[in-house]
């Protein structure tokens, strides 16, 4: 400001001094002519600079700004500074906006900005999926036109939104959403949607699990409790009947014990989040144990065979492998009527170790196969109970295999028998260094 005044007053003072000198030397007319010439020159310069300013404002490029000297130079340099500052602020704002939009795009939650009349102003990709919006097409479209559910329309119309709204089966799918309106600005509102499909599914699984466990325990507890009551009432039972009653109590207690043990082992397996250890387990030893187990369970009712194609080494947790493979063997014995054949086999297939149990039992219809490893899933509940099954065997197998990066394959035909095969990954098998002909165990 001080510089600016110095320039203006300095110029004026020089003009007055020169004019006064002209007046003194050449007379008043020349003094006046000099002063007029000075003002004319100033007016011409200002007009030129204004035109320059106007031209620059139209082009509006920081680099092309004129750089005159004097008072106009000061004005332009102030303008230059202001422009630079504005450009920097704009850049920062643009970057912040881009960051915000980027965050909105990758956010797993849906975000929709709507105006006071529920018209869509902006939304992120998650919201497009949740509400079936196509932002390019549906901008300015009313959200209630796209989501016509009465409870949703009513929720948007409310003035208070303390609780979220739960919407199930969105767009005719299994998608469940929790929707919350968030205060935003006077004429814009923010709608946030959370996908709660998995949370609800997990909750259902948990409730089913508790119901199943209670159901499984209720029968044996009722049976044992009933007998104890009878005995407490002092009823004298024939020795043969008493033996039968005690036998039933023992088998029901055993059933509860099996269930609790399997539940504990399932919960232990589900709690493991690191891969199984890589302890060397000799396939021939494991196969011998499994064949022995099958023979003990069968008690001579089946023809049991064990075939070891190559004596490889499996890298895994030996107790878990024995329990998983053992469950497949137990099932084969359970679901194969007397006189049937059960064949256990270990072989290598393209580097993968394959353990399979083949039986000539009752078989399984194809619609049941994908659900066999669900907890408590049984094709025939009565038959499973009759044979001492808990419905947890294949769920345990699934967990053990997950722990070993292995997978289960099932092929079965009702009335023809089944083949349950476990495929151990290449990384968990050390192929035998020496070849030998298949060994019948
Ligand atoms: P369970 O204790 O009832 O045997 P599992 O989880 O081991 O429970 O098996 C689930 C169901 O799969 C069984 O109830 C049975 O219906 C079916 N299943 C399993 N293995 C066989 C098999 N080898 N042959 C026929 N059905 C089988």
pLDDT of 107 above 90: no
* 59-68, 106-115, 364-373, 383-392, range with the lowest pLDDT: 59-68
> How far is the C-alpha of 143 from the C-alpha of 181, rounded, in Å?
13
Task: Provide the pLDDT for residue 10.
Answer: 82
Residue 364's nearest CA partner among 282, 403, 420, 402 is: 420
Task: Provide the pLDDT for residue 435.
Answer: 57
What number is the average pLDDT over the span 408-421? 97
Residue 348's nearest CA partner among 397, 287, 283, 420 is: 283
Extents of the domains making up the chain: 2-97, 107-195, 199-270, 279-440
Task: Provide the pLDDT for residue 437.
Answer: 59
pLDDT of 25 above 70: yes
Residue 403 pLDDT grade (very low, low, confident, very high; cuts 50, 70, 90): very high
> Residues 371, 384: contact at Cβ < 8 Å?
no
Neighbours of 402 (CB within 10 A): 17
Looking at the DSSP bridge assignments, the partners of residue 167 are: 177
Task: Provide the pLDDT for residue 256.
Answer: 93
> How far is the C-alpha of 272 from the C-alpha of 315, rounded, in Å?
17
Determine whether 29 is exposed, middle or buried from the number of CB atoms within 10 Å of its CB (0-12, 13-18, 19+).
exposed
Query: Rounded to the nearest 5 degrees, what angle is found at the Cα of 153, between the Cα atoms of 149 and 155?
Result: 115
> Is 330 a pocket residue for ligand 1 (Cβ < 6 Å)?
no
> Is 127 a pocket residue for ligand 1 (Cβ < 6 Å)?
no
The protein residue with its alpha carbon nearest to ligand 1, atom 25, reads: 363
Which tokens hold the place of 33? 């002519």
Contacts 24+ apart (CB under 8 A), 215-220: 216/259, 216/376, 216/390, 216/391, 217/256, 217/259, 219/252, 220/252, 220/253, 220/255, 220/256
Gap from CA of 378 to ligand 1 centroid (Å): 6
Torsion of the alpha carbons at 19, 25, 30 and 31, rounded to the nearest 10: 30
pLDDT of 426 above 60: yes
Task: Provide the pLDDT for residue 439.
Answer: 67
What number is the average pLDDT over the span 330-343? 96
> Residues 171, 127: contact at Cβ < 8 Å?
no
pLDDT in tens, 256-283: 999 999 999 999 998 888 999 999 999 9
Query: Rounded to the nearest 5 degrees, what angle is found at the Cα of 192, between the Cα atoms of 187 and 198?
Result: 165
> Is 404 a pocket residue for ligand 1 (Cβ < 6 Å)?
no
What is the 8-class DSSP label of residue 277?
A: P
Handedness of CA 158, 161, 165, 171 (dihedral sign): positive
* 17-31, 43-57, 111-125, 397-411, range with the lowest pLDDT: 43-57
Task: Provide the pLDDT for residue 436.
Answer: 59
pTM comes to 0.68
pLDDT in tens, 221-260: 999 999 888 888 877 778 888 899 899 999 999 999 999 9
Q: Which atom of ligand 1 is nearest to the CA of 363?
A: 25
> How far is the C-alpha of 125 from the C-alpha of 16, rounded, in Å?
72
Residue 438 pLDDT grade (very low, low, confident, very high; cuts 50, 70, 90): low
Is 13 or 314 the better-scoring residue by pLDDT?
314
Residue 167 pLDDT grade (very low, low, confident, very high; cuts 50, 70, 90): very high
Q: Which atom of ligand 1 is nearest to the CA of 357?
A: 23
Length of the chain, in residues: 441
Backbone φ and ψ for 200, nearest 5 degrees, come out as -65, -40
> Is 379 a pocket residue for ligand 1 (Cβ < 6 Å)?
yes
pLDDT of 193 above 60: yes
What is the 8-class DSSP label of residue 360?
A: -
Q: Does domain 279-440 have CATH number 3.30.565.10?
A: yes
pLDDT of 185 above 80: no
Q: Which atom of ligand 1 is nearest to the CA of 395?
A: 6
Gap from CA of 224 to ligand 1 centroid (Å): 26
Question: What CATH code is assigned to 107-195?
Answer: 3.30.450.20
The protein residue with its alpha carbon nearest to ligand 1, atom 23, reads: 332
Gap from CA of 331 to ligand 1 centroid (Å): 6
pLDDT of 7 above 90: no
- pLDDT > 90 fraction of the chain, expressed in percent and rounded: 59
> Is 406 a pocket residue for ligand 1 (Cβ < 6 Å)?
no
Architecture field, domain 199-270: Orthogonal Bundle (1.10)
- pLDDT > 70 fraction of the chain, expressed in percent and rounded: 97
The protein residue with its alpha carbon nearest to ligand 1, atom 14, reads: 378
> Residues 419, 332: contact at Cβ < 8 Å?
no
Gap from CA of 427 to ligand 1 centroid (Å): 29
Residue 258's nearest CA partner among 379, 385, 374 is: 385
Q: Which atom of ligand 1 is nearest to the CA of 359?
A: 23
The protein residue with its alpha carbon nearest to ligand 1, atom 13, reads: 378
Q: Which atom of ligand 1 is nearest to the CA of 385?
A: 3
Q: Which atom of ligand 1 is nearest to the CA of 390?
A: 2
Positions of E strands within 19-124:
110-115, 120-123
> Is 356 a pocket residue for ligand 1 (Cβ < 6 Å)?
no
Task: Provide the pLDDT for residue 1.
Answer: 61
> How far is the C-alpha of 333 from the C-alpha of 325, rounded, in Å?
13
Tell the residue number behind the tokens 């099996």, with chain if given.
258
> Is 393 a pocket residue for ligand 1 (Cβ < 6 Å)?
yes
> Is 326 a pocket residue for ligand 1 (Cβ < 6 Å)?
no
What number is the average pLDDT over the span 102-131? 91
Gap from CA of 190 to ligand 1 centroid (Å): 51
The protein residue with its alpha carbon nearest to ligand 1, atom 21, reads: 331
User: How far apart, in Å, are the Cα atoms of 216 and each of 106, 220, 323, 328?
Assistant: 45, 8, 22, 21
Residue 130's nearest CA partner among 87, 177, 172 is: 177
Gap from CA of 421 to ligand 1 centroid (Å): 14
Contacts of 256 (CB under 8 A, 6+ apart): 217, 220, 221
Gap from CA of 151 to ligand 1 centroid (Å): 45
Which tokens hold the place of 109? 């939650």
Gap from CA of 395 to ligand 1 centroid (Å): 10
pLDDT in tens, 58-106: 877 766 777 777 778 888 888 888 888 988 999 998 888 888 888 888 8
Is residue 372 classed as helix, strand or coil in its secondary structure?
coil
């Amino acid at each position: 400001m001080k510089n600016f005044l110095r320039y203006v007053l300095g110029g004026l003072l020089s003009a007055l001094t020169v004019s006064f000198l002209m007046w003194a030397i050449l007379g008043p007319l020349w003094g006046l002519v000099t002063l007029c010439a000075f003002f004319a020159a100033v007016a011409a310069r200002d007009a030129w600079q204004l035109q320059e300013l106007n031209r620059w404002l139209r082009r509006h490029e920081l680099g092309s700004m004129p750089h005159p000297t004097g008072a106009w130079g000061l004005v332009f340099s102030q303008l230059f500074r202001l422009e630079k500052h504005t450009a920097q602020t704009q850049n920062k704002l643009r970057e912040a906006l881009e960051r915000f939009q980027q965050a909105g795009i990758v956010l797993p939650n849906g975000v929709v900005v709507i105006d006071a009349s529920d018209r869509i102003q902006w939304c992120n990709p998650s919201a497009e999926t949740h509400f079936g919006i196509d932002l390019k097409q549906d901008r300015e479209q009313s959200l209630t036109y796209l989501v016509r559910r009465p409870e949703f329309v009513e929720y948007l119309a409310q003035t208070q939104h303390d609780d979220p709204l739960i919407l199930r089966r969105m767009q005719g799918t299994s998608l469940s959403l929790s929707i919350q309106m968030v205060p935003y600005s006077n004429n814009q509102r923010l709608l946030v949607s959370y996908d709660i499909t998995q949370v609800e599914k997990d909750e259902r699984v948990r409730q089913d699990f508790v119901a199943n466990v209670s159901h499984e325990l209720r029968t044996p507890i009722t049976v044992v409790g009933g007998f104890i009551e009878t005995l407490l009432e002092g009823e004298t039972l024939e020795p043969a009947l008493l033996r039968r009653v005690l036998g039933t109590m023992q088998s029901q207690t055993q059933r509860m014990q099996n269930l609790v043990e399997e539940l504990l082992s399932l919960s232990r397996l589900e709690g493991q989040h690191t891969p199984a250890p890589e302890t060397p387990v000799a396939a021939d030893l494991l196969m011998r144990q499994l064949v022995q187990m099958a023979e003990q369970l069968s008690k001579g009712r089946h023809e049991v065979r064990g075939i070891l194609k190559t004596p490889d080494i499996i890298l895994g947790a030996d107790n878990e492998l024995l329990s998983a493979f053992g469950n497949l063997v137990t099932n084969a014995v359970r679901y194969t009527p007397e006189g049937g054949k059960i064949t256990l086999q270990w072989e290598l297939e393209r580097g993968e170790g394959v353990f399979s149990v083949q039986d000539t039992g009752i078989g399984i219809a194809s619609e049941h196969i994908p659900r066999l490893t669900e907890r408590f899933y049984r094709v025939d509940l009565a038959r499973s109970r009759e044979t001492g099954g808990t419905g947890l065997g294949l769920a345990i197998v699934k967990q053990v295999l997950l722990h070993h990066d292995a997978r289960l394959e099932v092929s079965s035909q009702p009335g023809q028998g089944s083949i349950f095969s476990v495929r151990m990954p290449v990384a968990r098998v050390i192929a035998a260094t020496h070849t030998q002909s298949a060994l019948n165990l």
